[in-house]
Structure formats: C-alpha cells, structure tokens
Chains A and B, each alone.
Chain A
Amino acid sequence: LTGSPTTRTTPRGLRLWVKLALLAGVGVVATHSIHLAVGTGIAGRSLVRAQESLGRGIARLVAAEAADPILTHDTATLSQLVVRAAATDGIGYCFVVRGGDALATSFPGGTPEGLVRLRADGRTGPVVVVDGASRFLDLEEPILGGSAGVVRLGIDMAIMQTTRRSIAAPLGALALLVMLLGAGAALVIGRSIARPLDDLVATADRFDPAVALAAVAPRGGREIERLADRINSMMRRLRAAHDDRERVRTQALANARLATLGSVVAGVAHEVNNPLASLKVCVTLLREGADPQQRSADLALMDDALDRLRDVVRRLLDLGHPPQLDLAPTAVVDLARDAPRLAALSLRGQGISLDEIVDSGADDVPVRADRKQVSQALLNLLLNAAYVTPAGGRVRVRIRRRGDLRGIAVEDDGPGIPPALRDRVLDPFFTTKPAGEGTGLGLALARAIVDQHHGALELECPEQGGTIVTLWLPIVRASGPEVGPPGTHAGADPAPAA
C-alpha cells in the first residue's frame, strides 16, 4: 500500500460512464426503434383496413344501387352509377362484372382484361393491384348475393401512402429527438454514476497508511455511498494497524539498541576492568615504596595495562569509524588465499587442518574490494572457526557464487551456534569465550568491513553441525564499478542474510 503510485488509474478501454452511456443510449434507441417500427406497422395496417372498410361501404352502396339497373337492363343508369362512384375522392376505378363480362365501367376505353380476370381464380378478399408506381386496393362486393354480378372497386392507395409518410416523417423526427435526448440523458446519468466511483479509485490509489488522508465524501446513490463508507472504514483500520506496527517496531528498535548498548558497556567494562585493577595494585605498591627491582616490575605491569586499555579504545574507534577503503577489482580466489596463509600457523598449532576448496562454480569475475580489509575480516572468521573446532578437526574455505555476488565461506566442525544466540553473535563485545580469551569484536568488525563493501555476512548452521560463515561481495560489472546493495539483485540463490 505504501509503495503504490499516487497517479490516477487510466483504464485501457472505454470508461465506465461511457459504457453506461452507450448501453443506455443503445437501449433507448433499440426500444424506440422497435416501438416505432411495430407501432407504425400496426398504424399502417389499421389505416389500410380502415380504408378497406370505407371502400367496402362504398362498394356495398354501389352494389345495392346497381341491382335495379342490372335487373332492368338499365345500362345507362348503371354506367352513371359506377362513373359517379369512381369520381369519389380516393376511388381509382369502379366497374360491374356479371358472367365474366364488364356490364359497366369507369374506365373510358373499357375495363382492362387483366383486371376483369383478376378474380377468375375465385378469390373474393381484398387484393392490391400494382401498376408501376400506382397501387389500388381492389374490393369485390356481390350484387344480390352474386346472382346479379359483382361490383369491383379500386381504392387508390396513394392517399394511404401519403398519409403513412405524413405520419412517418414526424415520427422519424421524433425518433431522432428522443434518441438525442436519451443519449444526452445517458451521458449525464452515466457520468454522475461513474464520477463517485472514479473518486473512490483515485482515493484508493493515493492511499498511504503513513499519511493522514481525507475520507471519501459519500455521494452517488445509496450503494456507492455504502461502498465509500466501507472504504473509509477500511482506510481507518489500515492506518490504525500501521500506527500500531510502527509503535511496536520503534519499541523493538529501542530495546535492541539498549540491549546492544548494554552488551557493549558490559564488554568495555569487562575489558577495562582488568587493566584498571592491575594499575590500581601497581599504584598502591609504588606508594608503599617498593624496591627499585619491584618498582621496575610494577611500572612494566602498568605499561602493559595501559597498552591493553589503548588497544580496547582503538578497537572501539575502529568499530565506530571504519578506515577508508582502498577498493580495487580483485579476484575472489586471491582474497580467499590471503587469510588462510596468515592463519595457517595458528591452526596448525591447534592441530586443525585447513582445506582451501574452490568450487567448480568459481569464475574469473572480479569483486571490488579492499584486499587488506577483506583479509582482516576473513582472518577473524578463520580464528573464530579455529577456536570452536576441536583438535583434529577441519576448517574449510570455499568459494561460492550467487547471482551477482561472490562469496568466501568459512566452514568449521564446531558445535554450531545455539538458536537463541544467533541474533546476537554479530553484536560488538558479544562472545561465548571465557573471560580474557576474546574481546567479542571479531565478527562485529568483519560485518562492519563487509557492510562497507555493500556486501553481506551470512551465518548458516547446518543440521549435521558446524557453522558456515560466508562473506559475500558484489562483483564488478561491465556497466559500472559494482552492483548495488545485496538483496536487490535477482539470482538463483536467495539473498544472503547478515
């Protein structure tokens, strides 16, 4: 959480509110389109049926009026009747058929053959007669039940088409208007829904439990307000947890510092106490007027005690103010051979054999190191190993490789480090040696040197016993003098732990 960027999240696809707006817009348009299409279709059909009903009424009237002229062979009246009927607005033609022949017609030159034969197949329902762009709804009405013939009436559908289009035009405009309004409303609503969510996302992005953050203002509807409330509550809990953890960590650090200080003070007191006691005795003897021989011996003791005090102070200074390093690319193998050479004599005196083992993984990649300081640190490790290794045991020096680090491991056959002490063995003046046999600064100094090299000191206690202390150093890279601090490099092995 603490490491998350504070920049606003940028989605790759469409924003939520755009999607909502599009969804709503498409929904409005689709619904409206279906409504319009179906509604206009129904209206159009109703119009046709209404027109048919009206036409059928006219046809029925003509059929009733035509009966007498037909029965009395009054063709003049019959012709007059059909011509008058055809002259009515919206009627395209009218004629009377009996026995397959047109008795009277409104067509000036006679009824078209195709029109007379149109119902030769016996159909009696409405038929749409199409002639180019002209359309007529052809209706048939029997006269005296068909025994005196039929009246045929053609309703000009141009009127219906005109009426339909006159309805369709404003409906189309209305559709566009509704769609625009719907799209606009969808945009506004979609944005109003998405904005509180965007605020929540931005707040989540910016959230840092170490920094006090203003709570999200609840808005955007009940559900989003509840979400904002939950996020605010979660942020408060995270902040409280972070504060608790910081308090505990600070307390632990203080405790560790106090423990280290206590250890240092106890070590210093212990180291200083013996020479001081010697000095006190010598001073007392000198006051009592010792003979010259004794006086000379006392002075020699005092000088030795002062040397020991000076040595303690120097070591403390070395620990507090490490010397300036003289770094140079150095082969790990060379580093691994320096210290054993110095310690060989001491180890042989204790009946311990020293094995210098170079792993097959060793390479020529140099590390950047102060050869003298690294040799000092390695010597401290070898002397510690020799101390815990019983006579006849072995101490091994081995080259190790882990990613961008190269290590020099010192392995002993000692009893290992009890788990309870592992966290303290690197503290200054911590020692398991009897009083007067060690200062407790060897490992602490070794770690200080390794830290200066941006390396690491790793302690391992295998189950079979013994201790492996590895001094890890970063290699010299082609693009730069050295790699960064240990633990930041990717490698096959886990990062070393100091």
Chain B
Amino acid sequence: MQAIQVGLRAGLSAAVIAAFAPVVAGCSSSPYPEVRVELASAPATPTPAAPEAETLRFSVAAMLSPQDTFSSYSRVLERLGSALHVRVELVQRRTYAEVNELLASGKVDAALLCTGGYLELERKHPGTTEVLAVPVIRGESTYRSYVLVPAGSRARTLAELEGKRFAYTDELSLSGRHYVVHLLREAGRDPGAFFGSVQYTGSHDRSIDAVVRRVVDGAAVDSLIFDQLAATHPELTAGIRVIDRSPPFGAAPVVASTRLSPARRTQLRNALLSLSADPEATAALRVVGFDAFALPGPHLYDGAAAVLETSR
C-alpha cells in the first residue's frame, strides 16, 4: 500500500511537472541581460556644454543630401580647421535659402554656397558675404547644368518633356532649376505649366536618383555632381541620358560672412587656397570632386546672373 502511495505521488509530481513545464519555460528569462530602470524617473538633463575652443561655423549648401554632404565634407573641414587651428563645425540645412538665412543672420561664419544661392543672397542681402575662393575642377572653376532623362526615354529635347514629371533640386539652384526655367522662358513656355508635375528633391544626388528610379521623367542637376557620380558609380548613371548641357557657369563659391574680421577672412582664404598643399586635404577634396580652391575671376558669375535674371 505504501509502495502504491509512493508511486502515485511520483506520478502526480511528474504530471504537475509535465503540465507546468511549458508554462515555466514560457516565463523563462530572455537570453539578454536585464537592467532595472525606473521609467517614471526624472528625465535626463542636457549635458552642460564644455568650454570649447574657438569654433568656425561652416555651412555647406544642400547640393548633396545631408548624409552625403556630411560624409563628403567632414574630412575637408577637419583639414581646414587643422590649418586654421580652430574647430570647424559643419552646419547643414535642407534648403539653400535656409543656409542663406544663417549667413545673413550671422549664425554661420562661412559657407560653400550653390551659385544660384550665392547670387540670390547677394541680391537680397548685398554685402553680407565675401567670396573667398572657388573650387577648381579639372583646371576650371565652372560647372554646367545637365538636363537628364532615363536612358529609355523618348525625349531628346527639353521640349519633349512637356507634361511629364520633372524634378528641381532647390528653389534657388541655378543648375537644378533656374537654367531650365530660363530655357522655357526663352522658348516662350510657361515654366509653371510646362511640366505635368514638379517636385523639389532637396539635392542633386536625389534628383539623379529620382531619374534612375524613374520616379520622374526628367531632372536638372549640377554637372560636377553628375560627373563625379559617373566616375565613382558608373552603374548608377548608366541608366541616364543627358539631353541638354548648359553653358559653363561660375562654380559654387566659398563665402565668408562679412561679420568676420578681415583678418579672419584672410586667414580662411589662405587656408582654403593652401589646402591643395595638404595631401590629406587634397584626398578629401577629391572625394567631393574638387582639385583645389582658387581665387575667383572678375566676371565669373556674370553668365549665371544673366540666367537668373531671366528665370525670375
């Protein structure tokens, strides 16, 4: 009798274990470490800013996407800071206009502006900035506007894109918008009604990407960025055909706020001009497609200004 009771007890225990094993296993701890945190506790207070060394706030207009700009220009600005013995902070904004506002309000000290953006800034806030240097690309300080269509598109001219989807880069972009508007105006077409739809991509690389993906039927972009992309990623540009090339325009200038002291501006100009002597800086400039920086010629932006005049 005792043996039967022992057997029954063992069987009952086994049954309980069997029944609750999955429940216990279901409540088992996760394979990751556990930390107790009171989520209702006081929020974290911002870390007090440490007294920093002198900082030069430098902006780059959104000719490239913010991420590409960050990855491309961080190294260049680091070398520039090294030459100036200051920390250079990269400040980005989504549009050319926002960068212009930063310059006009003195919130940045210098910037690499798009030609169109620079001319607009000079128009709206004359004397706010001073051109320090212009990039040199394959011996030239000019660039063009390319009108792109997908390789399979039937369009051979801008006129054949009528009623199609078109991508502008920025409201103020010379190569990304003003040149196309200029062409349409010269052709007697209404830029506001010529295309079926228009969208602003915010940067030239996104416009190229939109054409590759056939999100749009055409786009106007900076020739420097397109050529740089064709050199580094030919597979991306293989699906694109250029149906129009503009005359050369003055390349995007590096400007300094006139709020900076003339001495500081001179230092900055000299540092830019001497970057090509720094091998690391030269390598960083090659990433963005520049060979070096040079002093601008006297009528470098006349052509661009004329285009802008007709496109407004």
Q: Is A127 an interface residue (CB 8 A)?
A: yes
A187 to chain B, nearest CB (A): 11
Chain A neighbourhood of B40, CB < 8 A: 112, 131
How far apart sit A48 and B29, CA to CA, in the bound complex (Å)? 10
Could you tell me if B67 and A144 are in contact, using CB atoms closer than 8 angstroms?
Answer: yes
In the complex, identify which listed stretch (A30-38, A194-202, A488-496) lies at the interface while the others stay far away. Answer: A30-38
Chain B neighbourhood of A435, CB < 8 A: none
User: Which of A14, A22, A36, A137 interacts with B11 by CB under 8 Å?
Assistant: A22
Could you tell me if B44 and A29 are in contact, using CB atoms closer than 8 angstroms?
Answer: no
Interface string of A165-194 (1 = CB under 8 A from B): 101110111011011000100000000000
Closest chain B residue to A160, Cβ basis = B30
B72 to chain A, nearest CB (A): 12
Chain B neighbourhood of A164, CB < 8 A: 26-27
Closest chain B residue to A103, Cβ basis = B46
How far apart sit A33 and B23, CA to CA, in the bound complex (Å)? 11
Could you tell me if A37 and B38 are in contact, using CB atoms closer than 8 angstroms?
Answer: no
In the complex, identify which listed stretch (B90-98, B145-153, B171-179) lies at the interface while the others stay far away. Answer: B90-98
User: Which of B34, B38, B43, B66 interacts with A111 by CB under 8 Å?
Assistant: B43
Could you tell me if B36 and A157 are in contact, using CB atoms closer than 8 angstroms?
Answer: no
Chain A neighbourhood of B70, CB < 8 A: 67, 71, 144, 147-148
Chain A neighbourhood of B10, CB < 8 A: 22, 26
How far apart sit A93 and B41, CA to CA, in the bound complex (Å)? 15
Chain B neighbourhood of A147, CB < 8 A: 70, 74
User: Which of B31, B44, B71 interacts with A45 by CB under 8 Å?
Assistant: B31
Interface centre among A48, A49, A71, A126, by most chain B C-beta atoms within 10 angstroms, is A71
**Which residues of B31-89 have CB atoms within 8 Å of chain A's CB atoms?**
31-47, 62, 65-67, 69-71, 74
A26-B11, A113-B44 known; A72-B19 Cβ under 8 A:
no
Could you tell me if A118 and B37 are in contact, using CB atoms closer than 8 angstroms?
Answer: yes
**Which residues of B252-311 have CB atoms within 8 Å of chain A's CB atoms?**
none
Q: Is A267 an interface residue (CB 8 A)?
A: no
Chain A neighbourhood of B127, CB < 8 A: none
How far apart sit A168 and B27, CA to CA, in the bound complex (Å)? 9
Q: Is A100 an interface residue (CB 8 A)?
A: yes
Residue count of chain A within 8 Å CB distance of chain B:
69
Could you tell me if B66 and A72 are in contact, using CB atoms closer than 8 angstroms?
Answer: yes
How far apart sit A102 and B45, CA to CA, in the bound complex (Å)? 9
Could you tell me if B47 and A36 are in contact, using CB atoms closer than 8 angstroms?
Answer: no
User: Which of A40, A99, A126 interacts with B21 by CB under 8 Å?
Assistant: A40
Q: Is A129 an interface residue (CB 8 A)?
A: yes
A72 to chain B, nearest CB (A): 5
How far apart sit A125 and B33, CA to CA, in the bound complex (Å)? 9
Q: Is A458 an interface residue (CB 8 A)?
A: no
User: Which of A36, A45, A48, A113 interacts with B43 by CB under 8 Å?
Assistant: A113
Chain B neighbourhood of A29, CB < 8 A: 11, 14-15, 17-18
Q: Is A109 an interface residue (CB 8 A)?
A: yes
A29-B15, A112-B37 known; A137-B30 Cβ under 8 A:
yes
Could you tell me if A157 and B30 are in contact, using CB atoms closer than 8 angstroms?
Answer: yes
Chain A neighbourhood of B36, CB < 8 A: 129-131
Chain A neighbourhood of B47, CB < 8 A: 99-101
Chain A neighbourhood of B46, CB < 8 A: 101
Could you tell me if A36 and B25 are in contact, using CB atoms closer than 8 angstroms?
Answer: yes
Interface string of B1-17 (1 = CB under 8 A from A): 00110010011001101
How far apart sit A76 and B283, CA to CA, in the bound complex (Å)? 36
How far apart sit A82 and B28, CA to CA, in the bound complex (Å)? 31
User: Which of A40, A110, A115, A148 interacts with B37 by CB under 8 Å?
Assistant: A115
B288 to chain A, nearest CB (A): 16
Interface centre among B27, B32, B37, B71, by most chain A C-beta atoms within 10 angstroms, is B37
Chain B neighbourhood of A169, CB < 8 A: 23
How far apart sit A131 and B35, CA to CA, in the bound complex (Å)? 9
How far apart sit A467 and B267, CA to CA, in the bound complex (Å)? 153
How far apart sit A73 and B95, CA to CA, in the bound complex (Å)? 12
Interface centre among B3, B22, B27, B38, by most chain A C-beta atoms within 10 angstroms, is B22
Q: Is B187 an interface residue (CB 8 A)?
A: no
User: Which of B26, B37, B38, B92 interacts with A72 by CB under 8 Å?
Assistant: B92
Residue count of chain B within 8 Å CB distance of chain A:
50
How far apart sit A178 and B62, CA to CA, in the bound complex (Å)? 68
Closest chain B residue to A74, Cβ basis = B94
Could you tell me if B66 and A167 are in contact, using CB atoms closer than 8 angstroms?
Answer: no
Q: Is A128 an interface residue (CB 8 A)?
A: yes
Could you tell me if B37 and A128 are in contact, using CB atoms closer than 8 angstroms?
Answer: no
How far apart sit A93 and B25, CA to CA, in the bound complex (Å)? 27
Interface string of A238-255 (1 = CB under 8 A from B): 000000000000000000
Could you tell me if B32 and A128 are in contact, using CB atoms closer than 8 angstroms?
Answer: yes
Q: Is A361 an interface residue (CB 8 A)?
A: no
Q: Is A68 an interface residue (CB 8 A)?
A: yes
Could you tell me if A113 and B41 are in contact, using CB atoms closer than 8 angstroms?
Answer: yes
How far apart sit A134 and B22, CA to CA, in the bound complex (Å)? 22
A71-B69, A110-B44, A179-B14 known; A36-B22 Cβ under 8 A:
yes
Could you tell me if A112 and B44 are in contact, using CB atoms closer than 8 angstroms?
Answer: yes
Interface string of A15-47 (1 = CB under 8 A from B): 000100010011001101100111111001100
Chain A neighbourhood of B43, CB < 8 A: 102, 107, 109-113
Chain B neighbourhood of A40, CB < 8 A: 21-22, 25-26, 28
User: Which of A72, A73, A148, A168 interacts with B22 by CB under 8 Å?
Assistant: A168
Chain B neighbourhood of A39, CB < 8 A: 22, 25
Q: Is B193 an interface residue (CB 8 A)?
A: no
How far apart sit A107 and B40, CA to CA, in the bound complex (Å)? 10
**Which residues of B118-161 have CB atoms within 8 Å of chain A's CB atoms?**
none
How far apart sit A279 and B237, CA to CA, in the bound complex (Å)? 165
How far apart sit A39 and B21, CA to CA, in the bound complex (Å)? 10
Chain B neighbourhood of A276, CB < 8 A: none
Chain A neighbourhood of B26, CB < 8 A: 40, 44, 161, 164-165, 167-168
Chain B neighbourhood of A144, CB < 8 A: 67, 70-71
Q: Is A122 an interface residue (CB 8 A)?
A: no
Interface string of A45-73 (1 = CB under 8 A from B): 10011000000000000000001100111
User: Which of A128, A172, A183 interacts with B19 by CB under 8 Å?
Assistant: A172
How far apart sit A125 and B44, CA to CA, in the bound complex (Å)? 22
Closest chain A residue to B20, Cβ basis = A172
19 contacts between A and B (CB under 8 A): A14-B7, A33-B17, A44-B26, A72-B62, A93-B39, A100-B47, A112-B40, A112-B42, A112-B43, A114-B37, A114-B41, A118-B37, A128-B32, A128-B33, A147-B70, A168-B26, A171-B22, A176-B15, A183-B11
Shortest 3 CB-CB contacts between residues of A and residues of B: A110-B43, A168-B26, A40-B25
Interfacial residues, chain B to chain A (CB-CB below 8 A): 3-4, 7, 10-11, 14-15, 17-47, 62, 65-67, 69-71, 74, 91-94
| Additional 14 contacts, C-beta under 8 A, given A25-B14, A36-B18 | A29-B15, A37-B22, A72-B92, A73-B92, A111-B43, A113-B41, A130-B35, A161-B26, A167-B22, A168-B26, A172-B21, A172-B23, A175-B22, A179-B19
